[in-house]
């Protein structure tokens, strides 16, 4: 009776707000850290929760990380048009305050300090996790609102396997993925490609009647390898190449037709050494990001910029009785140059110390600190402290407090005629308290958070009318996040229910106004029903009203929008796996946008095919 009452209350709460979530019976969202295979992410997250988006879930969702997160988590993604720049907002923070971590390396852009979630194609990563809240002690600059982790797990003795997934939809939209792996006792290889293209000329209600000049093309290659030298030593190599071409939509036929291209090249070598009570992980990474912009693609003139970054990182851990100690040393050398940038270099040396104590299986404490030195901007002393308390078999309490930061980017400091070399780093003091329940087939999590951000960097007009970055703001964000899932089996059928909801206040302390493009309410829900070889899914997402101006003018808002998606899949064979399906996006053809004057598509139909060998 007690469990049924909790389930009923949870279901009523879901339907009295607006929300939607993921939609796959074999892709349940796991709320406990024990499912995270990345040991560092698990070890460094005491007092915080980690959302893991399973590999099978990502097979059933769009290839771009922006849509995957929007549909399956409580976090908001703002798209500057379909397929265009996608900016995350975790717990009311800005896109620059979310860190993207690739196999332990922070890969946020050196130019603007953020990751464009429409250029992060998640099809080739078999471990994708999201950790909301501060993480600067471990992952450095930008990890204020949260961090997104893209990891590749390389396994041995698995033989050969291949997977092909194809999607074709309206407006000549193509989403193709191929990945394979081969491993023996000593060697492991994993490879994959993604191709995402669309004419993106869907009908709109604007002056042009169609989304004009919106074509995009993304191409992604991953190649990973590992060699087991002996039982103590393991070598790994990761390669990630991403090439993108996007035309930027226009509002009037008289406007220039801009275009943007970027090429990202990422290399990472790892040497892991493990003993009985210790482990050592040495990483060497080289990253380059090259972009060019044309104000009018019909003319040849382009402006280009290039950033190259060298990362050297050493993680050492030692276990003694109930204690575990970690030391992290990170060296970063970044150089940038280009037509719009004064050439410069940033060198950063950082060290972190982490101590973890497990009193028993029910209680865990963790404390950590970090200090950085730089030739440009030093950061303050950072800290983090967390507690996990498993009070009963079905209830766990988590608490975390931390101080985090973000350093000014190359654009902030050195953009031609606009950069401000006097900028100071942003800092943020955070607290969060989470309650996590596991009641049979019901998992439920409720987390309250508070974030005090100082020296927030914003681009504002100077006395001459030119836009320039300044440390002008203090912002407080606070609210709550709720996640839950429930599964019911009856006969040959399965029913999976999943839900997320976030309430976020992000308040400018001088004006007392909500930050622009930051919805107070964001939610999603999904139900999936499977019987025999069929699976039917309904996805629903609701994003609350957003202010488009800093004065919170009620006449200048992005209206609340709700979207329904339907999916149907049929499995023709299980060995090898062969599936076909149809996806109907925005079933009720609602008009909506997540950024001002950037309409999004109405109803769209897609056909999908999956083969696993």
pLDDT tens sequence across 145-190: 999 999 988 889 999 999 999 999 999 999 999 999 999 999 999 9
Partnered with residue 605 across adjacent β-strands are 584
pLDDT > 50? residue 380: yes
Strands 604-612, 395-406: pairing is unpaired
Contact 139, 148 (CB under 8 A): no
pLDDT > 90? residue 23: no
Per-residue pLDDT tens digits for 40-66: 777 788 999 888 887 666 666 666 788
Q: Which of 517, 537, 547 is nearest to 583 (CA)?
A: 537
Q: Average pLDDT, stretch 579-586?
A: 93
Domains of the chain (ranges plus CATH)?
Answer: 2-612 (2.40.170.20)
Nearest-angstrom CA–CA distance, 145 and 155:
32
Residues 6+ apart with CB under 8 A from 352: 137, 138, 326, 327, 328, 330, 368, 369, 370
**Range from 192-201, 375-384, 591-600 that averages highest in pLDDT:** 192-201
CA atoms within 13 A on the CB side of 317: 18
pLDDT > 70? residue 203: yes
Contact 345, 110 (CB under 8 A): no
Q: Average pLDDT, stretch 203-223?
A: 88
Strands 303-320, 127-132: pairing is unpaired
Predicted local distance difference test score (pLDDT) of residue 11: 39
Average pLDDT score, the chain: 87
Nearest-angstrom CA–CA distance, 236 and 226:
4
């Amino acid at each position: 009776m007690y469990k049924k009452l909790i389930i009923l209350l949870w279901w009523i709460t879901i339907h009295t707000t607006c929300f939607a979530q993921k939609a796959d019976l074999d892709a349940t969202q796991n709320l406990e850290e024990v499912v995270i295979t990345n040991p560092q992410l698990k070890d460094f997250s005491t007092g915080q929760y980690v959302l893991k988006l399973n590999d099978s879930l990502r097979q059933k969702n769009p290839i771009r990380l922006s849509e995957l997160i929007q549909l399956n988590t409580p976090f908001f993604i703002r798209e500057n048009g379909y397929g265009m720049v996608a900016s995350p907002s975790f717990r009311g923070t800005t896109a620059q305050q979310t860190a993207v971590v690739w196999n332990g390396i922070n890969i946020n852009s050196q130019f603007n300090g953020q990751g464009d979630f429409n250029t992060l194609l998640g099809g080739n990563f078999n471990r994708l996790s999201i950790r909301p809240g501060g993480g600067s002690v471990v992952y450095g600059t930008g990890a204020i609102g949260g961090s997104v982790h893209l990891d590749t797990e390389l396994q041995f003795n698995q033989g050969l396997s291949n997977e092909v997934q194809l999607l074709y939809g309206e407006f000549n939209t193509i989403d193709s993925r191929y990945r394979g792996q081969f491993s023996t006792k000593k060697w492991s290889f994993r490879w994959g490609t993604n191709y995402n293209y669309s004419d993106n000329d869907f009908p709109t209600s604007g002056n042009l009647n169609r989304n004009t000049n919106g074509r995009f093309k993304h191409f992604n290659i991953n190649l990973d390898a590992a060699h087991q030298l002996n039982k103590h030593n393991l070598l790994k190599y990761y390669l990630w190449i991403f090439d993108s071409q996007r035309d930027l939509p226009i509002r009037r036929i008289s406007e220039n037709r801009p275009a943007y291209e970027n090429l990202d090249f990422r290399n990472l070598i790892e040497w892991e050494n493990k003993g009985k009570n210790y482990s050592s992980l040495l990483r060497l990474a080289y990253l380059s990001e090259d972009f060019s912009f044309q104000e009018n693609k019909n003319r040849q003139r382009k402006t280009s910029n290039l950033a190259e970054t060298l990362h050297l990182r050493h993680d050492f851990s030692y276990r003694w009785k109930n204690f575990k100690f970690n030391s992290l040393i990170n060296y970063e050398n970044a150089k940038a140059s280009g037509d719009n940038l004064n050439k410069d270099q940033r060198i950063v040396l950082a060290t972190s110390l982490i101590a973890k104590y497990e009193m028993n299986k029910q209680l865990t404490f963790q404390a950590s600190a970090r200090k950085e030195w730089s030739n440009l901007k030093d950061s303050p002393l950072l800290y983090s402290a967390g507690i996990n308390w498993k009070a009963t078999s079905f209830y766990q309490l988590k608490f975390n407090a931390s101080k985090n930061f973000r350093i000014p980017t190359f654009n902030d400091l050195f953009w031609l005629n606009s950069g401000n070399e006097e900028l100071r780093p942003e800092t943020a003091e955070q607290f969060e308290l989470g309650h996590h329940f596991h009641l049979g087939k019901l998992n439920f999590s409720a987390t309250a958070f508070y974030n005090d951000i100082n020296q927030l960097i914003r681009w504002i007009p100077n006395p001459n009318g030119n836009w320039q970055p300044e440390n002008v703001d203090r912002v407080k964000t606070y609210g709550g996040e709720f996640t839950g899932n429930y599964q019911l089996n009856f006969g040959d059928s399965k029913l999976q229910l999943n839900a997320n909801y976030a309430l976020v206040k992000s308040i400018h302390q001088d004006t007392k106004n909500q930050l622009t493009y930051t919805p107070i309410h964001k939610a999603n829900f999904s139900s999936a029903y499977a019987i025999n070889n069929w699976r039917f899914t309904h996805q629903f997402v609701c994003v609350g009203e957003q202010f488009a101006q800093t004065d919170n003018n009620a006449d200048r808002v992005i209206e609340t929008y709700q979207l329904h998606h339907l999916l149907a899949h049929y499995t023709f064979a299980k060995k090898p796996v062969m599936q076909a399906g149809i996806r109907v996006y925005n079933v009720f053809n609602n008009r909506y946008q997540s950024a001002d004057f950037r309409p999004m598509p109405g109803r769209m139909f897609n056909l999908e095919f999956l083969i696993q060998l």
